[in-house]
């Protein structure tokens, strides 16, 4: 199983999922602890970002939104629902 670790944060999730696939381990450390609103907010931001990326990847749009190309846009959309991502 692939493992991503070492300074990963929500802004990289779209690339990690594109490169490694969904069957991987993401070890968030500093990207969680370093959140400006605290560790709980960092953990929430990570979880929501991963869920939104997988939802977008799996959604059957007429015009697909490829996560590797639209990751930043997808995170901005998620931030409308999750203030921890701002």
Q: How far apart are CA 59 and CA 42, in angstroms?
A: 26
> Which residue, 81, 3, 23, is CA-closest to 49?
81
Which band of pLDDT confidence, cut at 50, 70 and 90, is reported for residue 31?
Answer: confident
The yes-or-no verdict on residue 80 having pLDDT over 90 is yes
Question: E-assigned strands of the chain?
Answer: 2-5, 24-27
Quote the pTM value. Answer: 0.88
The per-residue pLDDT for range 51-65, each reduced to its tens digit, is 999 999 888 777 778
What phi-psi label fits residue 6: left (phi over 0), alpha (psi between -120 and 50 degrees) or beta? Answer: left
């Amino acid at each position: 199983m692939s493992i991503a670790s070492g300074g990963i944060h929500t802004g990289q999730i779209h690339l990690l999922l594109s490169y490694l696939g969904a069957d991987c381990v993401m070890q968030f450390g500093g990207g969680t602890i370093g959140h400006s609103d605290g560790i709980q907010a960092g953990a929430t931001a990570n979880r929501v970002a991963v869920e939104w990326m997988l939802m977008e990847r799996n959604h059957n749009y007429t015009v697909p939104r490829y996560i590797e190309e639209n990751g930043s846009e997808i995170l901005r959309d998620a931030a409308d629902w999750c203030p921890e991502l701002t």
